[in-house]
Amino acid sequence: MDFSSVDRTIADLETCLDTTREVSPTEELLVGVDLGTAFIVLVVMNSRKEPVACAMEFAQVIKDGLVVDYLGAMTVVKRLKAQLEERLGRELEKAAIAVPPGTGESDCKTHGYVVEGAGMEVTNLLDEPTAANAVLGVQDGVIVDIGGGTTGLSILEKGKVVYVADEATGGTHLSLVLSGAYKVSFEEAEEIKRDNTRHKEIFAAVRPVIQKMATIVKGHIVGRNIKAVYLVGGTCCLTGMETVFEKELGIPVHKPANPFLVTPMGIALSS
């Protein structure tokens, strides 16, 4: 798959973390809120579906897709919303949200209450890999979204989601392993892991967890005629993930240049 246009749009979105594009006072804005285990991300796109502003914060208020600190989550979303409103000179009134596949109804509602509590009407709620596909446009294959807490996947056939699954292994587990191996705090381990220049050095230590993620995916796709796997989510930024997956699954594994912001952008596009 040619990811060049996806890569360009995501690179464009990345620049919107620091810069803000002008928007007219009346045009419709698409807003996505990604309430993640590790990061809460707000993305704003204009009516032409171009990124205009983005803000994010590291927060441990969600665990394995469930809101464990409602007030904390609402406070972060409120803060990010206020930041973006100030930058854009526009009020953000509506947003789409996404949850890991298989999240129960009452937990979905709680995600919605967080965003509503922060002052936005929730216009759409979808699962994370499906949100990612609003950016990728995969017709046939599996989208695997590995975030902080979970490995989620959506199997697509002719552009339709036919199967979803989610299991509690994600980037947090890699950081815990690194924290033990390097005898540093969890926060320091997170920093080391997110430093792309250290990926080669840490790979041997985290490989067993990556192997486990690949085995999880294998368990869900075995017996199906899957032609390709698409990796998204912050954890897939790890250099060499795709090689472990390809070896375990025996099918081509594709990854955009920056898999981190794909799902948040897809949520905004689905608003």
CA–CA distance, 237 with 232 (Å, rounded to integer): 8
Nearer to ligand ATP, 20 or 179 (CB): 179
Among 98, 128, 124, 126, residue whose Cα is nearest residue 230:
128
Distances (CA, A) of 69 to 130, 148, 241: 25, 16, 31
Token pair belonging to 178 = 């690194």
Write the binding mask 75 to 114 for ligand ATP: x where contact by CB under 6 A, - elsewhere: ----------------------------------------
Site for ligand ATP in 127-186 (CB under 6 A): 128, 147-150, 170-172
Q: Are 32 and 96 in contact (CB under 8 A)?
A: yes
Closest approach, Cβ 215 to ligand ATP, in A, equals 18
Q: Is 39 in the site for ligand ATP (CB under 6 A)?
A: yes
CA–CA distance, 212 with 138 (Å, rounded to integer): 25
Stretch touching ligand ATP by CB under 6 A, among 42-50, 81-89, 106-114, 233-241: 233-241
Figure out which of the listed residues 32, 65, 101, 266 binds ligand ATP, where binding follows CB under 6 A: 65
Q: Is 266 in the site for ligand ATP (CB under 6 A)?
A: no
Q: Is 234 in the site for ligand ATP (CB under 6 A)?
A: yes
| Torsion angle of the four alpha carbons 44, 50, 54, 60, in this order, in degrees rounded to the nearest 10 | 70
Residues touching ligand ATP, count (CB under 6 A): 25
Half-sphere exposure of 51 (CA within 13 A, CB side): 27
Closest approach, Cβ 200 to ligand ATP, in A, equals 12
Which long-range contacts does 243-248 make (Cβ < 8 Å, 24+ apart)?
Answer: 244/207, 244/210, 244/211, 244/214, 245/144, 245/210, 245/213, 245/214, 245/217, 247/214, 248/211, 248/214, 248/215, 248/217, 248/218
Nearer to ligand ATP, 34 or 242 (CB): 34
Q: Is 194 in the site for ligand ATP (CB under 6 A)?
A: yes
Q: Which residues are at the interface with ligand ATP (CB under 6 A)?
A: 34, 36-39, 62, 65, 128, 147-150, 170-172, 190, 193-194, 196, 233-235, 237-238, 260
